[in-house]
Amino acid sequence: MKGVAKMTKKEEERLLNKINQIEKSIAKLQLAFENNKIEKAFYTVREVSEMLHRTPRAVYNMIERGELDTVKLGGIKIKGESLKEKLKGGVE
């Protein structure tokens, strides 16, 4: 095939490892969604970080990227509906 570069074995292994990591992340999110039904209207950053098995900094990064909708109620709170949508669509 013209213009298509072949991957080396090492590149192929890296790609397969990355795919495996993504699959594991998706499985964790599905488990978090099943075990932590989103029932509240608002969640703290700490609650969301525990649900997603991420650090609070990772949750703040998601907020900064616009992946989670928030409101300011004494502190930053993540909207439950936004969290539901994120869990349905997957977390990067």
Phi and psi at 6, nearest 5°, equal -85, 145
d(CA 51, CA 36): 7
pLDDT band at 27 (very low <50, low <70, confident <90, very high): confident
Lowest mean pLDDT among 15-29, 45-59, 68-82: 15-29
* Fold of the 9-89 domain: Arc Repressor Mutant, subunit A (1.10.10)
pLDDT at 1 over 60: no
Which pLDDT does position 7 carry in this prediction? 84
The per-residue DSSP string of 18-32 comes to HHHHHHHHHHHHHHH
**Arithmetic mean of pLDDT, 33-58:** 84
Where exactly are the structural domains of the chain? 9-89
